[in-house]
Amino acid sequence: MATLKKKNLSLTYEIIVEKDGKIIQKMRSKSKSLLKNFMSFIFAVFRNKKTERGGLFPVVDWDGMERYIFPDSVDDLGWLIEGRAESGAWAWGIMIGSGSTPVSPTDHALASLLGGGMTVEEVQFEDVIVDGNISKFTMRRSFTNVSGSTINVNEIGFAVSMTAADGVSYRFLFIRDVLGSTVSVPDGATLTVKYTLSVEA
């Protein structure tokens, strides 16, 4: 019997805290937390058919409601899907939180989303690159603490915003990681979160 090949999809994250031009904390780890929502989204894309869009496997939004990301009628417009959240839009894209509830595959929101007391940059993406048999891209986002006190971060994640044909937008969590230890961000410091997704041929 042939030996099964090792996993060919990998997700890693890196966290850097800087203040006054100096790195005061750095953390890098494998992410183990691509969620059911991520797989449901891929399934819906693969399963979709122009003449049979209704009834696809649902994706669960931030509030725990099931949403079908393709319409029931081929005459309707599809969903506008965005991951590159703009500056100040801290509730989607790459996000940070203070919660430490263990990750579950069915998570649909961070345990405790952080957004106040910070300036938040737009999510930045690097182009897909090929290195040997590996294809990968990196996305990153920076959060600067302007709250006047230390902000403690215990979880990170990534959510997309999807706007339906009626103009209503919903958030869908694809990644959630609980950190191995608390990352403390002093007032005036900047926290940068990077996610790198890679596949191997």
The tally of domains found in the chain comes to 1
Whether residue 3 is contained in a domain is answered as no
Q: Measured between alpha carbons, how far is 50 from 129 in angstroms, rounded to an integer?
A: 32
Q: What is the per-residue pLDDT for 74?
A: 46
Indicate whether 177 belongs to any domain. Answer: yes
Instruction: Give the model confidence (pLDDT) of 162-197 as tens digits.
Output: 887 778 899 999 999 999 999 999 999 999 999 999
Domain assignment present for residue 166? The answer is: yes
Using the predicted structure, report yes or no on whether residue 38 has a pLDDT greater than 60.
yes
Banded pLDDT at 53 (limits 50, 70, 90): low
Query: 97 is written with which tokens?
Result: 């939180």
Flag whether 4 is in a domain: no
Domain interval for residue 115 = 9-200
Task: Tell me the CA distances in angstroms from 184 to 110, 111, 191, one per residue in order.
Answer: 18, 18, 9
| 152 part of a folded domain | yes
In the structure encoding, which two tokens stand for residue 86, read together? 């703009």
- pTM confidence score: 0.89
| Residue 1 resides in a domain | no
